[in-house]
Amino acid sequence: MAPALAPAALFGLLIGSFLNVVAWRLPRGESLVRPRSKCPGCSTQLKAYDNIPIFSWLLLRGRCRGCGESISARYPVVEAITAGLYVLVVALKWGDALQIALGLVLVTFLVPIAVIDLDLKIIPNKLTAPAAVLAVALGAVLEPSYLPEQLIAGFGALLFFYLPALIHAKGMGMGDVKLAAVLGLYLGRAVAPGLFIALILGVVAGAAIIGLKGISEGRRTKVPFGPFLALGGLVAFFAGDAIVNGYLDRF
Ligand SMILES: [Zn+2]
């Protein structure tokens, strides 16, 4: 197991760096491949050696080499989280090709989805649609016998969230419904604890905001639900089967 973890971390850093680009450019309709990244302050194009994940940011102490404008800590954080999750997927799912493939692809979509939802309170179809297609394709190619469970879980999650979203449960939109369905396609039956965890986190966060801001202002604050779905989905991906089996064993 161990030899695969270093490549997983390295690969995760590089993909994480690309996901920063995706999270910024995709919702703004810009090309994902060119031009090269620029400093938003002085428009200097980043040199390759200033674009090394995490290390460049640390070396430059979070400032542009040209104009000294500060560069958000979010960039190295996204890179570190992506790398950490890649390592977890490989370490915990070692020996199961489908689970490793599903896990790496899931992380690759959930990171920009969470960042974009936090930023702009939208979950682009341009991310959920290809994520859904890839989940089905991976299941069909690597383990066709698992595909029915993926489809049932995806459809079940869709139905579970569709009605509340229709009645306009606070802060939940169609983007969240589609993301829940995507989680079903990746998690199979483990999507149930995943959605449950996401709902609990959402309720706790809502209560915390009302506690901080007071009832009237707190109720007007729109809390994006995507990051909670992403978090619940990841916890369930890593621990969901244990949760489901533990629960079933009690009966
Ligand atoms: Zn600059």
DSSP letters spanning 139-188: HHHH-GGGHHHHHHHHHHHHHHHHHHHHTT-TT--HHHHHHHHHHHHHHG
CA of 30 to the centre of ligand 1 (A): 20
How far apart, in whole angstroms, are the C-alpha atoms of residue 58 and residue 46? 15
How far apart, in whole angstroms, are the C-alpha atoms of residue 32 and residue 25? 6
Burial status of residue 230 (CB atoms within 10 A of its CB: 0-12, 13-18, 19 or more): buried
CA of 14 to the centre of ligand 1 (A): 22
CA of 60 to the centre of ligand 1 (A): 12
Please report the pLDDT score of residue 198 as a whole number.
Answer: 94
- 37 versus 119: which is more confidently predicted? 119
CA of 59 to the centre of ligand 1 (A): 15
> Tell me: the pLDDT tens digits for 223-238?
899 999 999 999 999 9
CA of 155 to the centre of ligand 1 (A): 47
CA of 79 to the centre of ligand 1 (A): 21
What is the CA 217 to chain-centroid distance, rounded? 28
CA of 13 to the centre of ligand 1 (A): 23
> Tell me: the pLDDT tens digits for 89-117?
999 999 899 999 999 999 999 999 999 99
All residues at 6 or more sequence positions from 111 whose CB lies less than 8 Å from its CB, including other chains: 16, 19, 23, 78, 81, 82, 85, 230
CA of 40 to the centre of ligand 1 (A): 6
CA of 240 to the centre of ligand 1 (A): 44
How far apart, in whole angstroms, are the C-alpha atoms of residue 173 and residue 165? 6
Question: In which element (H, E) is residue 5 found?
Answer: helix 2-25
Q: Are 238 and 215 in contact (CB under 8 A)?
A: no
Please report the pLDDT score of residue 241 as a whole number.
Answer: 77
CA of 78 to the centre of ligand 1 (A): 21
Q: What is the DSSP letter of 35?
A: S
How far apart, in whole angstroms, are the C-alpha atoms of residue 118 and residue 112? 10
As a whole number, mean pLDDT of residues 116-125 equals 95
CA of 168 to the centre of ligand 1 (A): 43
CA of 140 to the centre of ligand 1 (A): 47
CA of 127 to the centre of ligand 1 (A): 30
Question: What's this model's pTM, rounded to 2 decimal places?
Answer: 0.91
Please report the pLDDT score of residue 2 as a whole number.
Answer: 59
Rounded to 10 degrees, the C-alpha dihedral 209/212/215/216 comes to: -90
CA of 48 to the centre of ligand 1 (A): 15
